[in-house]
């Protein structure tokens, strides 16, 4: 009896909450602030700086969305989420959008009732080893000890990879990235595995980065992207097209610096539509016509965001790789803006 | 007749004890090498100390305080101590100390948490050293001076400093003239501290205070005919009506008529030790009375009260704190109506309070059980009613017995505040350390933040522990 009342209440609140989430866009506008679920500590992707302001590749996308919806990239509140709390926080409406290096998977789409609306970073799991180990391919790691974080998909990928290659390994499970680095440097394990972007960031922090190599094999697909709740398509479209606008801006060579100039001189109809000079494209999405212009002005186009936070000029020094535009051999491809 | 050849006419001068029976050698023999087994243990101990020092000392001696990144730290160490040398990089603490202490609290408002902490310690003086003028004045004076120095370092406006100096000086003078008067500060501190930390309109805490005033007024007015329990209940009902139905309209009215307040700070800006102290102190302060009531309820003859208390205590003790925290942050999000903004720090404080109250209840029950039956009977023989007996006879003795257990629970609770990291709050140990390590400049740093945070935790917990020993000494009335 008690249980059924409990479940009934749960169901009722779920229905209520579901109904109230129908218009995240309107909620955000009414609130005057975007609430973005973020990782509080992932080098290059999202972390507060010394002044407590979130910076990074993922954080910049949050700011761009805030600029598109509210016209001001600073009208965003970052909610730090752990990997355990992130999806619940999104589902319960605590955050409007989750941009926390979350991998798009089948079960997250269906089971958790979430929508991955874009892929802002194509990542994959890799290995790092010390140079003097004399290994040049992950397939030669038979019998190695491998440092790995517990409770992540990386653990499962690792098991699959070694099984496929009929080789064995000894896992050394650690709680977080800092522990993994420490164990790897202390020689507790021969290889350190995590997402390739994380490996690059770790390597850059070592006292002797030149003595460590990241092996060429990428053993998993980790498409990371912004997540919204299932069933709120208008809001999902806003997030998706804000991201697309940043891609198109890079494709068309529009940067934060030259935007005003392009706006004045462009003859390209797609650019005109994107910047809100022609047609009512912003209004179509329930936004202002200058929305996507504001999004680009927030932190620049996709390429600029990449370069500023994780690109070759930063200590992390990631190459564009899969994240190059489709015109340059990468996977970043935005649907046409028309 | 000299029939004796020799008679000693004076005493021999005293000789020094043999070398093995005096000074350092004696101490060493007695304390370190008194038996073969102890000798072995001593040698092993020395070896351990030696290896620890060998590992840690060069690292500590090579400490770097001025640098802007871990890389720069390493270069400085390599330049001074040769390549491959390692050194502690305290420059991280120098650069990010404010995040370890205050989280994301706005930098120009740091004086508010500092003042709140100073006033907290001052308002604790009459509780810790009730009626002891010298101890109270020492504590209040020291805290006031330190707070003032900290405030002077944060805020250079002389008029502000004069105001702070006058206020803190006034409190010290009060401690000197009438130490018990400081209890007034203790009573209003919860609301004052809340207002200092969170800011906002002054009328909100005033409204809450009016509710408590109503509670006390109703209790005092009806106690003589309704009895303690019913009078308290009636007071609660009246106060609840005020808080839920009346307060908002009155405070908004007052705010409109007389806007008075300061910049509001939201809970997500709290972090580091500020967060640990807010959660720890509030939960410690609130869990003691709740724990006492639960312990008494558990011993009650009334079936309903007893069952409820036992159920609560056993349920809470059977659930890990992490589960409670996840409930506070995640599950409540589903149950509460959407868009309710029930402050997450407040949720965590409430559940942590309940959690430690259940443990305290059992500790205090241990104290109650230690009292001989004669004490209860003596109270009855004196004609005291239940509450008088508890207040005057039972509780003072039971609490005295339970002091070590209570303080242990408090210390455990304070350290457990770091667990809030798992629900995304910025605790000093994991939360702030993670964000600091995520900075490309500091990524790869390991021991330094842990040592810094651990040292502060140690100081606070050691202080609590020493105070509890002092209190045990002071209250020792037996003649064992």
| Domain assignment present for A334 | no
- Give the residue from chain B lying closest to A198, CA to CA: B438
pLDDT band at residue B222 using 50, 70 and 90 as cut-offs: confident
Q: Give mean pLDDT, residues A44-50.
A: 90
A252-291 pLDDT, tens digit each: 999 999 999 999 999 999 999 999 998 899 999 999 999 9
- pLDDT at site B340: 63
Contact state of A51 with B107 under an 8 Å Cβ cutoff: yes
Q: Are B468 and B95 in contact (CB under 8 A)?
A: no
| H-type alpha helices, B199-261 | 203-226, 228-241, 247-257
Shortest Cα distance, chain B CAs vs residue A224, angstroms:
18
Within 13 Å, how many C-alpha atoms sit on residue A236's CB side? 16
Prediction ipTM score: 0.82
Contact state of A48 with B104 under an 8 Å Cβ cutoff: yes
Closest-CA residue to B371 (of B478, B479, B290): B478
- What proportion of chain B, given as a percentage, has pLDDT over 90? 38
Contact state of B333 with A92 under an 8 Å Cβ cutoff: yes
The CATH number for A183's domain is 3.40.190.10
Phi first, then psi: what are they for B302, rounded to 5°?
A: -80, 120
Write out the two tokens for B306: 């007893």
* Structural domain boundaries in chain B: 271-480
Q: Give mean pLDDT, residues B452-476.
A: 91
- pLDDT at site A88: 87
Contact state of B440 with A316 under an 8 Å Cβ cutoff: yes
Helix (H, G, I), strand (E, B) or coil at B418: helix
- In 3-state terms chain A splits into helix, strand, coil percentages (rounded to 5) of 45, 15, 35
Closest-CA residue to A174 (of A200, A202, A201, A149): A149
Contact state of A79 with B424 under an 8 Å Cβ cutoff: yes
CA distance B239 to B241: 5
Q: Are residues A104 and A246 in the same domain?
A: yes
B120-142 pLDDT, tens digit each: 999 988 888 887 888 888 889 99
Contact state of A20 with B333 under an 8 Å Cβ cutoff: no
Shortest Cα distance, chain B CAs vs residue A267, angstroms:
41
pLDDT band at residue B478 using 50, 70 and 90 as cut-offs: low
Distances (CA, A) of B380 to B131, B301, B303, B391: 29, 16, 22, 13
pLDDT band at residue A17 using 50, 70 and 90 as cut-offs: very low
Inform me whether the C-beta atom of residue B329 falls under 8 Å from chain A C-beta atoms: yes
A191-195 and A144-149: which strand pairing?
parallel
**Using a CB-CB distance cutoff of 8 angstroms, which residues of chain A are in contact with residue B423?**
82, 85
**Using a CB-CB distance cutoff of 8 angstroms, which residues of chain B are in contact with residue A50?**
95-96, 99, 439
CA distance B453 to B430: 10
Contact state of B439 with A178 under an 8 Å Cβ cutoff: no
Contact state of A40 with B74 under an 8 Å Cβ cutoff: no
Q: Are residues A318 and A228 in the same domain?
A: yes
Q: Give mean pLDDT, residues A189-201.
A: 90
Domains of chain A: total: 2
Average pLDDT, chain A: 88
By CB atoms closer than 10 A (0-12, 13-18, 19+), residue B243 is middle
Last residue of a domain, one of A220, A255, A283: A220
| Domain assignment present for A148 | yes
Shortest Cα distance, chain A CAs vs residue B464, angstroms:
31
- pLDDT at site B474: 85
Q: Are residues A247 and A258 in the same domain?
A: yes
Decide if pLDDT at A10 tops 80.
no
pLDDT band at residue A296 using 50, 70 and 90 as cut-offs: very high
Q: Are residues A115 and A243 in the same domain?
A: yes
What is the domain extent for residue A206?
125-220
Residue written as token pair 């996977």: A331
Task: Lowest mean pLDDT of A13-22, A120-129, B280-289, name the range.
Answer: A13-22
B336-385 pLDDT, tens digit each: 766 566 788 888 898 999 999 999 999 999 999 999 999 989 999 999 98
Q: Are B275 and B421 in contact (CB under 8 A)?
A: no
- Give the residue from chain B lying closest to A7, CA to CA: B335
| Domain assignment present for A193 | yes
CA distance B188 to B196: 12
B228-253 pLDDT, tens digit each: 788 888 888 998 888 888 888 888 88
Residue written as token pair 């390590």: B437
B315-342 pLDDT, tens digit each: 999 999 998 888 887 777 677 766 566 7
Q: Are residues A251 and A144 in the same domain?
A: no
A144: CB partners within 8 A, 6+ apart: A169, A170, A189, A190, A191
Max Cα–Cα distance, chain B, nearest Å: 121
Q: Are residues A74 and A95 in the same domain?
A: yes
B156-212 pLDDT, tens digit each: 778 888 888 899 998 888 888 888 888 889 999 999 999 999 988 888 888 888 889
Q: Are residues A8 and A112 in the same domain?
A: yes
Shortest Cα distance, chain B CAs vs residue A257, angstroms:
25
- Give the residue from chain A lying closest to B445, CA to CA: A178
Q: Are residues A235 and A117 in the same domain?
A: yes
Question: What region does A146 belong to: left with phi over 0, alpha with psi -120 to 50, or beta?
Answer: beta
A52 closest CB neighbour out of B70, B104, B421:
B104
| Domain assignment present for A336 | no
Decide if pLDDT at A2 tops 50.
no
| Domain assignment present for A337 | no
- Give the residue from chain B lying closest to A17, CA to CA: B338
- Give the residue from chain B lying closest to A88, CA to CA: B330
pTM of the model: 0.86
**Using a CB-CB distance cutoff of 8 angstroms, which residues of chain B are in contact with residue A207?**
74
Closest-CA residue to A321 (of A128, A71, A123): A123
What is the C-alpha end-to-end distance of chain A, expressed in Å?
56
Q: Among positive and negative, which fits the CA dihedral A286, A291, A296, A299?
A: negative
By CB atoms closer than 10 A (0-12, 13-18, 19+), residue B250 is middle
B142: CB partners within 8 A, 6+ apart: none
- pLDDT at site B341: 66
**Using a CB-CB distance cutoff of 8 angstroms, which residues of chain A are in contact with residue B348?**
none
Inform me whether the C-beta atom of residue B431 falls under 8 Å from chain A C-beta atoms: yes
CA B122 vs. chain centroid, Å, equals 14
A40 closest CB neighbour out of B96, B269, B435:
B435
Give the Cβ contact number of residue B272 at 10 Å: 27
**Using a CB-CB distance cutoff of 8 angstroms, which residues of chain A are in contact with residue B74?**
207
- pLDDT at site A97: 96
Within 13 Å, how many C-alpha atoms sit on residue A214's CB side? 20
CATH number of B271-480: 1.10.3720.10
Write out the two tokens for A283: 């209004």
Last residue of a domain, one of A220, A246, A267: A220
Write out the two tokens for B338: 């959407």
């Amino acid at each position: 009896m008690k249980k059924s009342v409990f479940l009934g209440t749960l169901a009722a609140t779920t229905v209520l909450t579901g109904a109230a989430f129908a218009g995240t866009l309107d909620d955000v506008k009414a609130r005057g602030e975007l609430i973005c679920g973020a990782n509080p500590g992932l080098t290059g992707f999202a972390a507060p700086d010394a002044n407590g302001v979130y910076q990074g590749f993922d954080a910049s996308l949050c700011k761009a969305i805030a600029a598109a919806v509210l016209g001001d990239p600073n009208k965003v509140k970052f909610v730090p989420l752990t990997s355990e709390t992130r999806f619940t926080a999104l589902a319960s409406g605590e955050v409007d959008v989750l941009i926390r290096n979350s991998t798009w998977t089948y079960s997250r789409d269906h089971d958790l009732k979430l929508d991955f609306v874009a892929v802002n970073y194509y990542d994959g799991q890799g290995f790092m080893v010390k140079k003097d180990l004399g290994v040049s391919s992950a397939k030669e790691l038979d019998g190695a000890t491998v440092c790995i974080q517990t409770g992540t998909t990386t653990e499962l990928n690792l098991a699959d990879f070694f099984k496929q290659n009929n080789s064995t390994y000894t896992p050394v499970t650690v709680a977080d990235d800092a522990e993994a680095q420490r164990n790897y440097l202390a020689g507790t394990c021969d290889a350190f595995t995590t997402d390739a972007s994380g490996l690059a960031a770790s390597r850059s922090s070592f006292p002797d980065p030149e003595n460590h190599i990241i092996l060429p094999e990428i053993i998993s697909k980790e498409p990371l992207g912004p997540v919204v709740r299932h069933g709120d398509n208008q809001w999902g479209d806003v997030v998706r097209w804000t991201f697309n606008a940043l891609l198109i801006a890079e494709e068309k060579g529009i940067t934060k610096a030259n935007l005003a100039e392009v706006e004045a001189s462009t003859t390209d109809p797609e650019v005109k539509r994107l910047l809100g000079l022609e047609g009512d494209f912003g209004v179509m999405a329930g936004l202002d016509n200058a929305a996507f212009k504001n999004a680009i002005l927030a932190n620049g186009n996709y390429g600029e965001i990449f370069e500023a936070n994780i690109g070759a000029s930063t200590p992390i020094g990631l190459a564009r790789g899969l994240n190059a535009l489709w015109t340059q051999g990468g996977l970043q491809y935005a649907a046409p803006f028309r | 007749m000299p029939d004796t050849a020799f008679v000693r006419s004076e005493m021999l001068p005293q000789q020094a004890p043999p070398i093995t029976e005096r000074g350092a050698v004696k101490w060493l023999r007695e304390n370190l090498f008194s038996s073969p087994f102890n000798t072995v243990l001593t040698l092993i101990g020395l070896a351990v100390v030696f290896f620890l020092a060998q590992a840690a000392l060069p690292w500590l001696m090579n400490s770097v305080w001025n640098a802007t990144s871990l890389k720069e730290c390493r270069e400085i160490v390599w330049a001074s101590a040769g390549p491959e040398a390692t050194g502690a990089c305290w420059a991280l603490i120098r650069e990010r100390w404010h995040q370890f202490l205050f989280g994301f609290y706005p930098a120009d408002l740091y004086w508010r948490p500092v003042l709140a902490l100073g006033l907290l310690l001052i308002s604790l003086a009459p509780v810790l050293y009730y009626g002891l003028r010298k101890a109270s004045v020492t504590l209040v004076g020291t805290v006031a001076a330190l707070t003032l120095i900290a405030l002077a370092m944060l805020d250079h406006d002389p008029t502000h400093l004069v105001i702070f100096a006058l206020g803190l000086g006034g409190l010290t003078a009060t401690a000197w003239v009438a130490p018990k008067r400081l209890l007034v500060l203790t009573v209003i501190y919860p609301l004052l501290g809340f207002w200092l930390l969170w800011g906002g309109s002054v009328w909100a805490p005033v409204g809450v205070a009016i509710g408590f005033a109503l509670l006390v007024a109703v209790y005092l007015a009806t106690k003589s005919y309704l009895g303690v329990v019913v009078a308290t209940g009636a007071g609660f009902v009246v106060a609840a009506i005020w808080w839920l139905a009346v307060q908002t309209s009155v405070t908004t009215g007052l705010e409109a008529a007389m806007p008075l307040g300061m910049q509001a700070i939201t809970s997500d800006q709290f972090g580091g030790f500020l967060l640990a102290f807010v959660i720890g102190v509030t939960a410690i302060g609130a869990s003691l009375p709740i724990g006492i009531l639960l312990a008494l309820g558990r011993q009650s003859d009334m079936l309903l009260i007893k069952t409820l208390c036992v159920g609560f205590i056993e349920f809470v003790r059977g659930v890990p704190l992490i589960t409670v925290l996840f409930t506070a942050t995640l599950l409540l999000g589903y149950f509460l109506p959407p868009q309710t903004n029930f402050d997450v720090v407040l949720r965590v404080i409430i559940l942590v309070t309940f959690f430690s109250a259940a443990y305290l209840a059992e500790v205090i029950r241990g104290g109650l059980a230690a009292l001989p039956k004669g004490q209860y009977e003596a109270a009855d023989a004196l004609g005291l009613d239940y509450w008088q007996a508890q207040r005057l006879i039972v509780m003072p003795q039971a609490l005295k017995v339970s002091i070590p257990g209570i303080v242990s629970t408090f210390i455990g609770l304070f350290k457990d505040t770091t667990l809030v990291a798992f629900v995304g709050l910025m605790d000093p140990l994991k939360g702030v350390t993670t964000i600091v390590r995520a900075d490309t400049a500091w990524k790869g740093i390991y021991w330094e933040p842990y040592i810094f945070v651990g040292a502060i935790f140690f100081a606070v917990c050691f202080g609590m522990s020493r105070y509890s020993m002092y209190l045990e000494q002071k209250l020792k009335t037996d003649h064992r």
